[in-house]
Amino acid sequence: MQTLLGFVRQRKAFTLPQGRVAHDDIAFGRVPFDIGFALRREGKKYIEGWLPRLNNDGSYRDNNITDYLQRLLRLSSQETLVLAEKIWDFLTSQFLLIEKSGKLKLDHERLFLVKPPARYVCHRCGIVKTYAARNCCPRKGCIGRLQEQAFGAAQESIIARWVADAGEHRFTTLKSEEHTAQVNKDVAKRIEDEFRAEGVNLLSSTTTFEMGIKERCIDR
């Protein structure tokens, strides 16, 4: 369940304390709109579908949720849809997902920061997670297995060792930005210019955007 709710958190589909912060606040990156969930998207703007859209013949293309459930439990496509809908009913009936501004979101008052009991790394894609159900990697389409791994190993990146408070680290300025298809083109160009000039030294992007960013930065 933590992994499934993680998909919702990653889309920033949660409520916020009144008057404290907005979804377009810089703390949330540069996503200028408010995301929510519905059982199915059905063409609604800024809505994520818990279930994927069905084709006329009843087939569908997996989203993160159905892909994970199908690999985790080795279910058929139809069994996966039935189970995913039951989980949705549970989340909404128990008010883990609540309606806010006409959209269903995680209730921020039920979100807590806790120290994870373990740390798992996929041996194939390298994703790091704090929960592992049957050691199934939650990254869509990945056939790798999550393996428990301690923090602070010598082969860890400096950021991972810093997060684990392992060893001594020296940092200067670290400025990060997000570069994805959701970023306004003018803003994206400014981010690229700053990245090229080393004003931005940590850039987060999808793999596809990473290749395009490299090409544009080299060309210029």
| Per-residue pLDDT tens over the stretch 10-42 | 888 988 887 666 666 666 655 567 889 999 988
Segment 87-145, tens digit of pLDDT: 999 999 999 999 987 789 999 888 888 888 888 999 998 888 888 999 999 999 999 99
pLDDT at 220 > cutoff 50: no
Average pLDDT of the chain is: 82
- Domain assignment of residue 206, given as a range: 176-219
| Paired sense of beta strands 97-100 and 103-106, if any | antiparallel
Q: Could you tell me which residue, 70 or 191, shows the higher pLDDT?
A: 70
Contact present, 86 and 66 (Cβ < 8 Å) = no
Which of 66, 93, 110 corresponds to the end of one domain? 110
Residues 10 and 104 occupy one common structural domain: yes
Pair (11, 75) in one structural domain: yes
- Calpha distance 16→120 (Å, rounded): 29
CA gap 178, 148 in Å, rounded: 29
Q: Taking Cα atoms as reference points, which of 178, 182, 156, 179 lies closest to residue 169?
A: 156
Domain count, the chain: 3
Asked whether residue 166 falls in the same domain as residue 180, the answer is: no
| 166 and 202 part of one domain | no
Helix axes 77-93, 64-73, angle to 10 degrees: 110
Residues 208 and 120 in one domain: no
Listed residues 110, 132, 153: the one ending a domain: 110
E runs forming strands in the chain: 36-40, 47-51, 97-100, 103-106, 120-122, 128-129, 146-148, 176-179, 202-205
CA–centroid distance for 75 within its chain? 24
In DSSP terms, which residues pair with 36 in a beta bridge?
47
User: Do residues 209 and 181 lie in contact, with contact meaning Cβ atoms separated by under 8 Å?
Assistant: yes
Bridge partner list, 136: 145
pTM above 0.75, yes or no: no
What's the distance, Cα to Cα, between the start and end of the chain in Å?
A: 46
pLDDT at 176: 79
